[in-house]
Amino acid sequence: MATTKRKTAGETGVASPSPQVLLRYYRDMLMIRRFEERAGQMYGMGLIGGFCHLYIGQEAVVVGVQAALEEGDTVVTSYRDHGQMLAAGMDPNGVLAELTGRRGGYSKGKGGSMHMFSREKNFFGGHGIVGAQVPIGTGLAFAHGYRANSRVSITFFGDGAANQGQVYESFNMASLWRLPVVYVIENNKYGMGTSVERASATIDLYTRGGAHGIPGKPVDGMDVLAVRAAADEAVAHARAGKGPYILEMKTYRYRGHSMSDPAKYRAKEELDRMRQERDPIDRVGKLLIEGGVVDEAGLKKIDKEVRDIVLAAAEFAQNSAEPDQSELHTDALIET
Amino acid sequence: MQRPIEVLMPAMSPTMKEGKLSRWLKNAGDKVKPGDVLAEIETDKATMELEAADEGTLAEILVAAGTEGVKVNTPIARLATGAAATAPTAAASRPEFPPAPPATAKALFSPSPGRPVLQAPPAAVPNVPGETAMLTVREALRDAMAEEMRRDPNVFLMGEEVAEYQGAYKVSQGLLEEFGKKRVVDTPITEMGFAGLGVGAAFAGLRPIVEFMTFNFAMQAIDQIINSAAKTRYMSGGQMDCPIVFRGPNGAASRVAAQHSQCFASWYAHCPGLKVVAPYSAADAKGLLKSAIRDPNPVIFLEHEMLYGQSFDVPTGPEHLVPIGKARIARAGAHVTIAAFSLMVGTALKAAEQLVAEGIDAEIIDLRSLRPLDTATIVASVKKTNRLVTIEEGWPFAGIGAELAALMMEQAFDDLDAPVTRLTGVDVPMPYAANLEKLALPQVEQIVAAAKAVCYRR
Ligand SMILES: Cc1ncc(C[n+]2csc(CCOP(=O)(O)OP(=O)(O)O)c2C)c(N)n1
Ligand SMILES: [Mg+2]
């Protein structure tokens, strides 16, 4: 797969996107969904170990944001990173092989689900410590500003992470120095088992930059078109040298926090309603059918193509060998 | 043509080996779509739903509802699918559950009816000296906190997911129901903030138990632990006591990779102004945690995720206290002393069994307390065996083993018949890959080999 997600020159069509653009969103979101379903399944089979945080339900966020980016823009996120990597154009084979801890993985099997990186795709990880990626993304923006290269840093973090102190230390520096960073808060309503209401004194997370003079906006994170439009605006703001911007994506994760989450903290009806009424993929599927772009059979065909790619990745991830034992000692430091 | 694929018993967590198939939500013959809930699976930690990953018809149920101890990867049903079937399919887990009552009021200190009791509080156990009960380490820790909270109204527990969720590792199960949300406090994900807040509350005379979901996250808060909790009494000329316990799982969990898998024992043991304990058995977990809560000083209490589910005999009754600073001879022996703490005590005990076959009688010391360290017990043992092997999951440089080796130089030099041997985690961040992870941690065979080597056996 690895279709490029970067904005094509002169592409607009946000308000009424072209059929091609809609189809691309559909396919990219579906790729994440099918990949994650397969990852969940492989976890159940014991092929993936440790923590495994699925992105199912949140697909529109990353696909919409990535569509607003240009070559050279950088991305950093948390441990909920599989969908981020696929959307950044990383190879599903390498991502899934990292999940199985094999040498064909992006980190040669040494990082696992939460820790993957790609210099080539400007994806700076995959971080396991809640909130820690926020200063890092701010530092990527510092480097972009330092080089005056018109690049933007996209820094994703969760609603739970939004309470970490280092987020506000970052906000202050980013605003003080007008760094080209867009903070994308993926508000999926819960940080592990704690709802935003139970963790946050104020729940409009897009206003959290207020004290630092950072503009913010709430966005329907289940609607890829709304995400794209908001991302265009925020990225343009940062790219123009106006400093940081905050987007709060109202989204939802369908699965547990990680694989072993009993999820007693939310009502089943809440989840069912989200899935039935707000699903980001169904929404675009419907637009495609209503617009006469494809019919049901056409969507099925896309699904089949996507499944085949994911199946091939699963095959690769299971057949790639474990890392060589000598890898235990490599990569800790650069030999000097 | 429909080709049936097998639905396998899924692993719901890194450590799950088996579970109970509590109920089927679909019957043979039912049509299923990806995402449909097929069954409910129960483990000691949680109940979860098993979702279908493929579209088809549930052709046959192979494991009946109510079956306990179903091993991971056992086929539990057959699904007939239209499409050419792919790999054997286990459905992925997805949680279920009764709606939690909406949490509204955030005020901690207003009287609140609290949530309905989900689970009965631990039954009161008669305080008969000498009587014991089998408890998991998880239960022992919970009981220790509950008993101390009953005893002293100034004791409270705070941390991420400790209350409504009952603890990320279910250690605080039932505490919210018994003590209410004023004393069992869910915090936001703000380790530096709530650790420092705990220190302030301790200065003011409360006795906080601060749970870190794991000690990896305490690194966010380590400034407050060292600079504020550990040093203030000294800096204040003895005025400012800080009776606080920082507790949570430490060390290598399973397959969670570099940022979530490391041992902090030597980091904290390095620092004056702290006490540091790391129990192995449930009896010690309970007795030491009770002592830690009653201690007037800051105590770092290092637990181990891999021990939470292990059961041990625990003395019953609310006055089972284990003094901080005393090691325990976990196995008496004559030929070599093996010093370990936390999970590695179990590994050392396994090695000792194998060493019997080699004619080597190992003495295993469970250090239990790392600061203060029970030097006298270790020296006495080495005077007897003339050999010391140390084991830890942490890194070698300036580790607990390094300290023990230095102590033997100072206090038992003339008694040593072989150089002290350290077995430690390998000096790299923890790798994720299964084969590399195993190589990164001390294994039974290495302990056996090290013990033989110091006994000059081949
Ligand atoms: C500093 C730190 N504290 C705690 C954790 C454990 N933890 C992992 S994810 C998580 C919840 C984070 O929620 P949120 O930021 O909303 O992200 P989401 O998982 O919803 O994507 C917690 C508490 C951690 N990894 N790092
Ligand atoms: Mg969240």
Here the CATH number for the domain that contains residue B214 is: 3.40.50.970
Given a contact cutoff of 8 angstroms between Cβ atoms, the answer to whether B307 and B349 are in contact is no
Is the pLDDT assigned to residue A4 strictly greater than 80?
A: no
Per-residue pLDDT band at A60 (split at 50, 70, 90):
very high
Å from CA of B229 to ligand 1 middle? 25
- Which residue, B315, B346, B361, sits at the end of a domain? B315
Interface test with A, best of B169, B216, B432, B436 (most A CBs within 10 A): B432
| Per-residue pLDDT tens digits for A290-317 | 999 999 999 999 999 999 999 999 999 9
* Chain B residue nearest residue A254, CA to CA: B94
Per-residue pLDDT band at A326 (split at 50, 70, 90):
very high
- Structural domain including B418 reads 328-454
Cross-chain Cβ contact B90/A45 below 8 Å: yes
Q: Using CB atoms, which residue from B35, B168, B434 is nearest to A322?
A: B434
Is the pLDDT assigned to residue A11 strictly greater than 90?
A: no
| Alpha carbon of A239: minimum distance to chain B alpha carbons (Å) | 31
- Chain B residues closer than 8 Å to A56 by CB: none
Mean pLDDT for all residues in chain A: 95
Measured CA to CA in angstroms, residue A154 lies from A100, A137, A139, A140 at distances of: 28, 7, 11, 9
- Which residue, B80, B101, B117, sits at the end of a domain? B80
* Residue with CA nearest ligand 1 atom 12: A191
Given a contact cutoff of 8 angstroms between Cβ atoms, the answer to whether B385 and B334 are in contact is yes
**C-beta B191 within 6 A of ligand 1:** yes
Task: Tell me: do B171 and B282 sit in the same domain.
Answer: yes
Residue B271 lies in a domain: yes
Counting atoms of ligand 1 from 1, which one is nearest the CA of A257? 19
What values do phi and psi take at A136, rounded to 5? -65, -45
Residue B276 lies in a domain: yes
Residue B235 lies in a domain: yes
Residue B168 lies in a domain: yes
Any A CB within 8 A of B193 CB: yes
Between CA B367 and CA B377 the distance in angstroms is: 9
- Number of domains observed in the structure of chain B: 3
- Chain A residues closer than 8 Å to B253 by CB: 50
Report residues of chain B scoring pLDDT below 70: 1-3, 35, 45-47, 82-106, 110-129
Q: Does B139 qualify as catalytic in the annotation?
A: no
- Structural domain including A84 reads 19-316
Q: What is the predicted pLDDT for the residue at A136?
A: 98
Q: What is the predicted pLDDT for the residue at B112?
A: 44
Task: Tell me: do B180 and B272 sit in the same domain.
Answer: yes
| Alpha carbon of A69: minimum distance to chain B alpha carbons (Å) | 29
Is the pLDDT assigned to residue A330 strictly greater than 50?
A: yes
- Chain A residues closer than 8 Å to B97 by CB: 262-266, 268
- Is the ipTM higher than 0.90? The answer is yes
* Chain B residue nearest residue A97, CA to CA: B433
**C-beta B36 within 6 A of ligand 1:** no
**C-beta A193 within 6 A of ligand 1:** no
Identify the CATH number of the domain in which residue B66 sits.
2.40.50.100
Interface test with A, best of B74, B189, B194, B256 (most A CBs within 10 A): B189
Q: Using CB atoms, which residue from B90, B98, B189 is nearest to A264?
A: B98
| Alpha carbon of B315: minimum distance to chain A alpha carbons (Å) | 32
Any A CB within 8 A of B120 CB: no
Residue A155 lies in a domain: yes
Task: Tell me: do B137 and B61 sit in the same domain.
Answer: no
Measured CA to CA in angstroms, residue B279 lies from B125, B285, B311 at distances of: 23, 5, 13
CA-nearest of B198, B434, B262, B393 to A129 is: B262
Å from CA of A52 to ligand 2 middle? 15
Task: Tell me: do B229 and B367 sit in the same domain.
Answer: no
Residue B95 lies in a domain: no
Q: Pick the catalytic residue from B40, B147, B260, B393.
A: B260
Å from CA of B71 to ligand 2 middle? 32
Per-residue pLDDT band at A193 (split at 50, 70, 90):
very high
Counting atoms of ligand 1 from 1, which one is nearest the CA of A130? 26
Neighbours of A176 (CB within 10 A): 12
Residue A13 lies in a domain: no
Any B CB within 8 A of A197 CB: yes
**C-beta A188 within 6 A of ligand 1:** yes
**C-beta A129 within 6 A of ligand 1:** yes
Task: Tell me: do B374 and B272 sit in the same domain.
Answer: no
Q: What is the predicted pLDDT for the residue at B45?
A: 65
Bridge partner residues of B331 (DSSP): B364
Given a contact cutoff of 8 angstroms between Cβ atoms, the answer to whether B247 and B421 are in contact is no
| Alpha carbon of A231: minimum distance to chain B alpha carbons (Å) | 27
Task: Tell me: do B299 and B339 sit in the same domain.
Answer: no
Residue B87 lies in a domain: no
Task: Tell me: do B284 and B355 sit in the same domain.
Answer: no
Q: What is the predicted pLDDT for the residue at A264?
A: 85
Between CA A61 and CA A80 the distance in angstroms is: 12
Å from CA of B374 to ligand 1 middle? 38
List, in order, residues 6 or more apart from A172 with CB less than 8 Å away: A212
Between CA A106 and CA A168 the distance in angstroms is: 31
Question: Exposed, middle or buried, B122 (CB in 10 Å: 0-12/13-18/19+)?
Answer: middle
Q: Among A81, A192, A251, say which to mutate for ligand 1: greatest number of ligand atoms within 8 Å of CB.
A: A192
Cross-chain Cβ contact B94/A50 below 8 Å: no
Q: Among A130, A164, A194, A258, say which to mutate for ligand 1: greatest number of ligand atoms within 8 Å of CB.
A: A130
Cross-chain Cβ contact A322/B13 below 8 Å: no
- Chain A residues closer than 8 Å to B106 by CB: 197-198, 201
Task: Tell me: do B308 and B228 sit in the same domain.
Answer: yes
CA-nearest of B291, B282, B260, B261 to B369 is: B291
| Alpha carbon of B430: minimum distance to chain A alpha carbons (Å) | 8
Q: What is the predicted pLDDT for the residue at A6?
A: 53
- Number of domains observed in the structure of chain A: 1
Task: Tell me: do B332 and B309 sit in the same domain.
Answer: no
Q: Which residues surround ligand 2, an ion (CB under 5 A)?
A: A 158-160, 188, 191
| Per-residue pLDDT tens digits for A203-261 | 999 999 999 999 999 999 999 999 999 999 999 999 999 999 999 999 999 999 998 78
Between CA B251 and CA B267 the distance in angstroms is: 12
3-state secondary structure of B340: strand
Residue A14 lies in a domain: no
Identify the CATH number of the domain in which residue B368 sits.
3.40.50.920
Q: Using CB atoms, which residue from B97, B193, B429 is nearest to A263?
A: B97
Residue B120 lies in a domain: no
What values do phi and psi take at B225, rounded to 5? -65, -45
- Chain B residues closer than 8 Å to A262 by CB: 45-48, 95-97
Task: Tell me: do B142 and B193 sit in the same domain.
Answer: yes
Kindly report whether the global pTM for this prediction surpasses the value 0.90.
no
Neighbours of B33 (CB within 10 A): 10
Counting atoms of ligand 1 from 1, which one is nearest the CA of A128? 25
| Alpha carbon of A98: minimum distance to chain B alpha carbons (Å) | 9
Any B CB within 8 A of A130 CB: yes
Please state whether the peptide bond connecting residue B88 to the residue before it is cis, i.e. omega within 30 degrees of 0.
Answer: no
Task: Tell me: do B246 and B353 sit in the same domain.
Answer: no
Identify the CATH number of the domain in which residue A246 sits.
3.40.50.970
Q: Does B40 qualify as catalytic in the annotation?
A: no
- Break chain A down into helix, strand, coil percent, rounded to 5: 45, 10, 45
Task: Tell me: do B62 and B181 sit in the same domain.
Answer: no
